[in-house]
Amino acid sequence: MGKAHFGLIGLGVMGENLVLNAERNGYSSVVYNRTYAKTEDFLAGRGAGKDIVGAATLEEFVGALERPRRILMMVKAGQPVDDTIAAISPYLEEGDLLIDGGNSLYTDTERRVAELESQSFGYIGMGVSGGAKGALEGPSMMPGGTKAAYDAIEPLVRKMAAQVNDGPCVTYIGPGGAGHFVKTVHNGIEYAIEQVLAEAYDLMKRVGGMNGDQMADVLAGWNDTEELASFLVEITEVCLRTKDPETGGDLVEAIVDAAGQKGTGLWTVVSALEMGVPVPTIYAALNARVLSSLRPERLSASALIPAPPAHSFSLGSPADGMGPLRDACIAACIVSYGQGMALLQEASKLHNYNLNFSSIGQIWKGGCIIRARLLQRIQNAYGANASLPNLMLDPWFADQINRRLPGLRQVVAGAALAGIPVPCLSSTLDYIDSYRSGRLPQNLVQAMRDCFGSHTYERVDKAGSFHTEWLD
Ligand code: NAP
């Protein structure tokens, strides 16, 4: 038998599906997993009858691959990636190429690209989004590293990726950790949109008194609109409609209300804080998950701090698609993408990633978790102005924000009076109101800083740096 075209390390949820995807696209494959029993199970199960062989050791794995070798690692992010690189490196030869398809921290990828390239190996840090189904049928892929390394895998990844009307959902992202950074921000946006939809559900249930099927019907309508049609709205409808086989009630009501947060959401927020880019809607989503996990504390507090008196307000009617609530969600989704793109703009400048934002919009249109019809508009906006600082400055998006703001205000104000937390919706409103304000109260902050610490301030009417003896 000839040598295999493609190698996969790590037969987890993603690895298993990605190798089946590669094989379906004509790439004979060899697989390796730290625990060999998993390799045997895979080859006897989903891998049976396919052009896929298994290797019990990394030496055997490397020996079974044609040169230059193309090896995709789909192992847990962090130390396991370094361990895998250390274990396989002795068997690699000049020109061989390692791809890390996991959710690695982009600064780890920067380091690994430099180390591996200095040993004459290619190294690609590639964000992959789409979950198990996407990995099998076509994910969105965000590869970064040297352009030469990308060129060596381009035919493979273009075949494996999701396909949309204007091409495959993969493109060269940029040097170093650019691919993993873009994937990190993708996940930050994902956190925000999931939280926005969770807030909409909470309001429909608690204010509108609606059940799962009624809410799902609203979501189905939203999924027919240009502004909200998306994978996340689609699966929210499915989740709300699904019944608990044990009780017959809505399954979602049987699920504990505590969500975890993994690396990428946190890294998005930390990077944004470090780079000085405001991402409050994304941050609110992260905090909402962290707060939700304090369940015992929340239960204690609920006995000590009661809800305000009942307050009813209108979310709109199901017949009109819950107009104000829908508008609030549209504004929050637009702003979530906008904050993510603004962060990418800054990272691109800081790290010389030279990101192409229109292309990023294009490769997120299919395969990935945040795929949405709105991404065509995002692609258009950056196609028209590559250095757009914020989506809200694009005419189409500015018009959307203007049209959706009354609904957002109505919903946030009503939720505040009813004592229902809507962290992403309210952060979105604050963000928009701050961004559209020609004058903010930070003049007083500057006065206070000068008062206690002689930090000086600038004046609106003349140039220079000024200090006042405020306390005399
Ligand atoms: P996972 O549970 O994150 O990782 C499982 C794989 O990692 C197994 O093959 C496991 O081998 C291997 N592994 C763990 N520690 C190792 C070590 N120290 N040395 C060598 N191998 C080690 O699986 P996954 O969900 O498929 O995710 C793989 C990567 O893709 C992760 O970075 C994840 O964040 C990312 N990702 C996941 C999704 C998703 O929807 N699941 C989506 C996008 C990206 P053993 O079998 O021997 O334990």
CA–centroid distance, 344 to ligand 1, in Å, is 26
User: Is residue 59 flagged as an active site residue?
Assistant: no
Q: Is the CB of 116 inside a 6 Å radius of any atom of ligand 1? A: no
Which residue has its alpha carbon closest to ligand 1 atom 38? 131
Exposed, middle or buried: residue 122 (CB in 10 Å: 0-12, 13-18, 19+)?
buried
8 A C-beta contact, residue 400 and residue 392: no
Query: 240: domain CATH number?
Result: 1.10.1040.10
Per-residue pLDDT of the chain (472 residues; tens, 9 = 90+): 689 999 999 999 999 999 999 999 999 999 999 999 999 999 999 999 999 999 999 999 999 999 999 999 999 999 999 999 999 999 999 999 999 999 999 999 999 999 998 888 999 999 999 999 999 999 999 999 999 999 999 999 999 999 999 999 999 999 999 999 999 999 999 999 999 999 999 999 999 999 999 999 999 999 999 999 999 999 999 999 999 999 999 999 999 999 988 789 999 999 999 999 999 999 999 999 999 999 999 999 999 999 999 999 999 999 999 999 999 999 999 999 999 999 999 999 999 999 999 999 999 999 999 999 999 999 999 999 999 999 999 999 999 999 999 999 999 999 999 999 999 999 999 999 999 999 999 999 999 999 999 999 999 999 999 999 999 7
- pLDDT for the residue numbered 152: 93
Regarding the beta carbon of 12 and ligand 1, being less than 6 Å apart is answered yes
**CATH assignment of the domain containing 154:** 3.40.50.720
Find the domain containing 253 and state its range.
183-435
In short, whether 102's Cβ falls inside 6 Å of ligand 1 is yes
Instruction: Please report whether residue 1 resides in a domain.
Output: no
> In whole angstroms, what separates CA 459 from the centre of its chain?
41
Judge whether 183 counts as a catalytic residue: yes
- The answer, yes or no, to whether any atom of ligand 1 lies below 6 A from the CB of 33, is yes
- Residue 40 is which amino acid? E
Q: Is residue 331 part of a domain?
A: yes
Same domain, 170 and 188: no
Residue 142 near residue 363 (C-beta atoms within 8 A): yes
- What pLDDT score does 1 carry? 63
Residues 391, 425 within the same domain: yes
Dist CA 387 CA 356 (whole Å)? 10
Contact 347, 287 (CB under 8 A): no
CA dihedral for 297, 303, 306, 310, sign (positive or negative): positive
User: Do 33 and 95 contact (CB within 8 A), yes or no?
Assistant: no
Same domain for 189 and 100? no
Q: Other CB atoms closer than 10 Å to residue 365's CB: what's the count? A: 23
Amino acid in the structure at residue 96: D
Best substitution site from 8, 9, 20, 34 to test ligand 1's pocket, by max atoms within 8 Å of Cβ?
A: 34
Quote the number of domains for the chain. 3
Catalytic residue among 16, 183, 205, 365: 183
Rounded to 5 degrees, φ, ψ at 27 are -105, 105
Out of 144, 176, 208, a domain closes at: 176
Question: How many whole angstroms from 263 Cα to the centroid of ligand 1?
Answer: 14
pLDDT for res 353 = 97
Residue pair 183/274 in contact (Cβ under 8 Å)? The answer is no
Catalytic-role residue among 190, 194, 199, 237: 190
Are residues 230 and 331 both part of a single domain? Answer: yes
74 CA to centre of ligand 1 in angstroms = 6
Report the pLDDT value the prediction gives residue 255, as an integer from 0 to 100.
97
- How much is the pLDDT for 458? 98
Ligand 1 pocket test, pick from 14, 99, 232 with the greatest ligand atom count within 8 Å of Cβ, gives 14
Whether 290 and 144 map to the same domain: the answer is no
The atom number, within ligand 1, closest to the CA of 75 reads 7
113, 147, 176: which is the final residue of a domain? 176
Q: What is the CATH number of the domain that holds 472?
A: 1.20.5.320
- Which of 176, 192, 217 corresponds to the end of one domain? 176
- Does 120 share its domain with 215? no
Regarding the beta carbon of 15 and ligand 1, being less than 6 Å apart is answered yes
In angstroms, rounded to a whole number, what is the distance separating the alpha carbons of residues 146 and 168? Answer: 20
Report how far ligand 1's centroid is from the alpha carbon of 72 (Å): 12
**Same domain flag for 250 and 328:** yes
Confirm whether 221 is domain-assigned.
Answer: yes
What's the whole-model pTM score?
0.95
The reply to whether 319 and 452 lie within a common domain is no
151 and 197 inside one domain: no
Residues 426 and 346 in one domain: yes
User: Could you count the other beta carbons within 10 Å of the beta carbon of residue 273?
Assistant: 12
Pair of tokens at residue 91? 């068997």
From the CB of 38, is ligand 1 less than 6 Å away?
Answer: yes
Shared domain check, 224 and 164: no
Burial of 439 (0-12, 13-18, 19+ CB in 10 A): exposed
What separation in Å is there between the alpha carbon of 174 and the centre of ligand 1? 24
Same domain, 278 and 138: no
